[in-house]
Amino acid sequence: MSWSASTAPPVDSRGRRVPAVLRECWAAIFRRRWVAVVDGRSMEPTLSEGDRLLIRRCAPAGVRRGDIVVAREPLSTLPGRLVVKRAVAVPGDPVPPRLGLAGDVVPEGALVVLGDNPDQSRDSRDFGYLPASHLLGVAVRTLIT
């Protein structure tokens, strides 16, 4: 079989063919991880404006109490506006006192998220439970810039 230009397998920088399995592994990694840039002061002192976070896409069941999460902002009038917050309660956890949220236990399909800097944060105190459908991922680490 001969290879035409349109069907030739990809080649690495040394001119070697890149195996399909390796290409698929890299593609899977990059589909599951992405970089978010912190915009604002709501997570200070933990995170500062301009910090870059490596985000791992995950299902809501993959979020643990204390994780830093990235989600679509529930009350935003700007489409695609994201928030970076700390998950302080996950489904089945008691609702943190003084938040004014309905119920004694966080319901399935919801999270309670707060900013580390309460004076600069719009979070569950403002928009209530974060619907799990808004969750985009969990911060894995801060990247050095």
For the chain of 145 residues, list the mean pLDDT of each consecutive stretch of 10: 44 57 59 83 93 90 94 82 94 88 88 94 92 94 81
What integer pLDDT is reported at residue 90 of this predicted model? 96
Residue 72 lies in a domain: yes
Residue 17 lies in a domain: no
What integer pLDDT is reported at residue 10 of this predicted model? 54
Known active-site residue 76: no
- pTM of structure: 0.75
CA angle centred on 125, ends 137 and 54, rounded to 5°: 20
Residue 19 lies in a domain: no
Which of 76, 80, 114 shows the shortest CA–CA distance to 98?
A: 114
Residue 1 lies in a domain: no
Residue 28 lies in a domain: no
Residue 6 lies in a domain: no
Cβ atoms 106, 112 nearer than 8 A: yes
What integer pLDDT is reported at residue 20 of this predicted model? 63
- Written as one letter, the residue type at 31 is R
Cβ atoms 132, 61 nearer than 8 A: no
128: domain range? 33-143
CATH code for position 58: 2.10.109.10
Number of domains in the chain: 1
Residue 10 lies in a domain: no
Residue 24 lies in a domain: no
Known active-site residue 42: yes
* Marked catalytic residue, from 4, 6, 13, 42: 42
* Marked catalytic residue, from 85, 121, 124, 133: 85
